[in-house]
Structure 1
């Protein structure tokens, strides 16, 4: 299966660098809506058989233009949601962001029993994302687009892809509407084919937020 993991478009919380993870969350900014529209052209060469989103508003708004263009109905799966920030929710200071991303990448490295302060552990976070990927693979679809969130995508790719571990993922940005393309299946594993080469419309009038930023940026 060809798996397209797409980060949602820009939100106001991205601009403010806030760890905003609760449902339903904010909608897209004007730039975010332009990014979502540009995603259609960026993925025009892909034969998308199915589209999945999280239960948060921003992923559904991001997927809407692609769903219309491909005549595919978006399927909402809470398992693609952003990793709950727990006690760090809505904070924007470097200490909170470092602790959040440090916990996420520790899960990818195998420390799945570690808990986000006031939140979930890594085993739970990974298994909920795995379940959606396994569901999609079980349909026999050739190419599946999943619109999810920065930390969730980076965590899962670092844990599950053979050729893109924590070192790579923590150093590389995943901008709003950045696309990670993988090939594989749940049984044989996954390989990253490209990392956000198709990210359209990034613009210069706002941030992509902390969940997609390289670790060394702070």
Structure 2
């Protein structure tokens, strides 16, 4: 199947560089709403059969125009929310959070931020959510999720991508995956970068 893994639109927490990972999270700001509308126009001709959003407000608000353009309802999917910042929540200094996430590797899965989650916990819950989407039988689906979660999940299922080809996703940019959890995933697009 093909999965569009989309980062939500802009929030005031993004503008102020705050680690906003807890529920329900900040809503979209005016720019974020415009981005969501533009996203809907950009993807309106894609053969997307289902639109999923995380349990956080900003993801659902981003997904709504896209779903409407496709004649679909937004399906809220547990498990694709942002990686918890735990004790670092709403901190403007991301160094601890980013440092922990960058330390994650196949040999370092059980480290996490105080009050947050480990790599193993995150990868398990995100992977299980994606499997639910696969089991629904869609050929093409869109998941509106979050920057750190999308990056870590995609690099986990496609670990050999060159880091230079995997920049931070801007608001409403996406990663496109093709394949399955059983057979493996291939990244065909990461933000502005496409792969043959």
CA distance in 1, matches of 2:27, 2:103: 29
Structure 1 position 42 matched with structure 2 position 42 = yes
1:126 to 123, 135, 140: 123
Counterpart CA distance in 1 for 2:62 and 2:15 is: 17
Alignment of 1:31-180 (within 5 A): 31-93=31-93, 97-108=94-105, 110-164=107-161, 167-168=163-164, 172-180=167-175
Q: Normalized per residue, which structure has more helix?
A: 1
**Which residue is 1:183 aligned to?**
178
Q: Which moved more, 1:122-131 or 1:100-109?
A: 100-109
Q: For structure 2, which runs of at least 5 residues remain unmatched after alignment? A: none
Match for residue 20 of structure 1? 20
User: Structure 1 residue 122: deviation in Å?
Assistant: 0.9
| Superposed displacement of residue 168, structure 1 | 4.4
The 2-side partners of 1:74 and 1:109 are apart by: 34
Secondary structure in 2 aligned to 1:140? coil
Q: TM-score, normalising length from structure 2?
A: 0.93
Kindly state the Cα deviation for residue 105 of structure 1 after the two structures are TM-superposed: 2.9
Runs ≥4 residues deviating over 2 A: 105-110, 162-165
CA contact (8 A) 2:36 2:62 kept: yes
Quick one: structure 1 residues 82 and 147, their matched pair in 2 at CA, closer, same or farther if it must change by over 3 Å? same
Q: Which runs of 5+ in 1 are unaligned?
A: 199-218
Give the direction of change, closer, same or farther, for the CA distance of 1:146–1:108 in structure 2 (3 Å limit): farther
Residue 78 of structure 1 aligns to a residue whose secondary structure is coil
Structure 2 contact 5–143 (Cα < 8 Å) conserved? yes
Paired residue secondary structure (2:79): helix
Q: Please identify, of 52-61 and 117-126, the stretch whose mean Cα deviation from structure 2 is larger.
A: 117-126
CA distance in 2, matches of 1:108, 1:38: 36
Closer/same/farther in 2, CA of residues 72 and 163 from structure 1, 3 Å limit: farther
Structure 1 residue 117, shift from structure 2 partner: 2.3
Aligned CA RMSD, in angstroms, stands at 1.7
Query: Between Structure 1 and Structure 2, how many residues are aligned?
Result: 193
